[in-house]
Amino acid sequence: MTEPLLTEIDHVAIAVRDMDAAIDWYVQTLGARIAHRELVEHDGVEETLVAVAESYVQLVSPTREDSAVARFLATRGEGLHHVAYRVQDCAEALEAVRRAGNRVVDEAPRRGSRGTMIAFVHPKSSFGTLVELVQEGSANGKSTPPQ
């Protein structure tokens, strides 16, 4: 691979059981600003984006017992869930990763929160950390600065 695929860290995702308590902690203790909160129905999760410069900490909590994040919390407890990197083109990045012989979770990019396109690389291929590739809705690989 010659061109770097990753343009920035988009978010570090942390699985939490109590979303409101986690938000309070980031706001009260770290003085953080909440940029976005969204129910992602098809993944059975609620996501909250805590703004940190041009990146985010993403708090994730399950809304259903059968969601992947509910299973994660049951087996591994609260903590680091995945690291998400911005890419110019999610489909291209996913294909490059797959071509290099890696296992992927998503066969094709799909919709994430905030109108992004996302795909996950399997942690078995990425040294134990679930990796997410994020293409911003604007398709230029840059974030809109948090307002």
Task: Give the active site residues.
Answer: 11, 47, 58, 82, 132
Q: Smallest distance from the beta carbon of 19 to Co ion, in angstroms?
A: 15
Cα-Cα-Cα-Cα dihedral sign, residues 85, 91, 94, 99: negative
Longest CA pairwise span in the chain (Å): 45
Binding segment for Co ion among 5-13, 14-22, 25-33, 98-106 (CB under 5 A)? 5-13
Per CB under 5 A, 132 contacts Co ion = yes
Contact map string, positions 78 to 117, toward Co ion, x by CB under 5 A = ------x---------------------------------
Per CB under 5 A, 59 contacts Co ion = no
Per CB under 5 A, 43 contacts Co ion = no
Residues whose CB is less than 8 angstroms from the CB of residue 23 and which lie 6 or more positions away in sequence, other chains included: 34, 48, 50, 59
Per CB under 5 A, 16 contacts Co ion = no
Cα-Cα-Cα-Cα dihedral sign, residues 121, 123, 125, 127: positive
Per CB under 5 A, 119 contacts Co ion = no
DSSP, res 44: T
What are the tokens at 103?
A: 């296992």
Binding site for Co ion (CB under 5 A): 13, 84, 132
